[in-house]
Amino acid sequence: MKILVIGSSRGTGQLLVDELVRAGHDVRAMIRNPAQGDELEQAGATPVAGDLEAEVGPAIEGVDAVAFCAGSGSSTGPDATLRVDLHGAVRTVDACVELGVPRYVMLSSMGAGDPLQGRESIRHYLAAKHAADRILLGSGLDATIVRPGGLTHDPGTGRVEIGVPRLDRRGTIPRADVAAVMARAFAEPATVGAVFDVLSGDQAIDDALSAL
């Protein structure tokens, strides 16, 4: 499968590139800064130019699927969050619909289902994720929305707990395990149309996804 990873240069997106390459997919990695291309090429991906605040169509054209892992970052304010996490995401959804790219896996956030229940300091972020998720679900694409808890840089364990649509507890999960969940979602039909929270747990990732 030819998959475009958006938000590929760092964090969960960079780990997702590695997971998809290892799984044998043809991976494109969308970047704004050409200097980011060398490391992604070394990882086995093909860098392509794109800007969530301008033009994404050329990067998306010709792929089979998109994985959205971009984010404005914790140090930015509400305006940047709206530009990237909401409007940027919606721009890619619209491009997929227009170009006939059927499959879309979204990295969202635990709490996006009910932003007003989140901490006041991050409600703008959860609200942006909530709106982007709703628009993706209404787009007609074969969508999967992954909502992890607090992200850590710990090594992945390969074991998770999944709640549909949400879990009744808070917690954390290594970015590596979130990347593995997203990568394996592309090969698991049960994830199409699914929205779920995910934390570290006791169930193997493949078993947890196939049970959705």
Active centre residues (catalytic): 125
Nearest to 16 by CA among 200, 135, 184: 184
Task: Decide if 160 contacts 181 (C-beta within 8 A).
Answer: yes
Q: How far apart are the first and last CA of the chain?
A: 22
Whether the CB-CB separation of 185 and 144 falls below 8 Å is answered with yes
CA distances in angstroms from 68 to 60, 115, 177, listed in the order given:
11, 20, 16
Q: Which of 182, 138, 145, 186 is nearest to 166 (CA)?
A: 145
Phi-psi region of 158 (alpha: psi -120 to 50; beta: other; left: phi over 0): left
The number of angstroms, rounded, from the C-alpha of 70 to the middle of its chain's C-alpha atoms is 7
Residue count of the chain, please give it. Answer: 212
Helix (H, G, I), strand (E, B) or coil at 163: strand
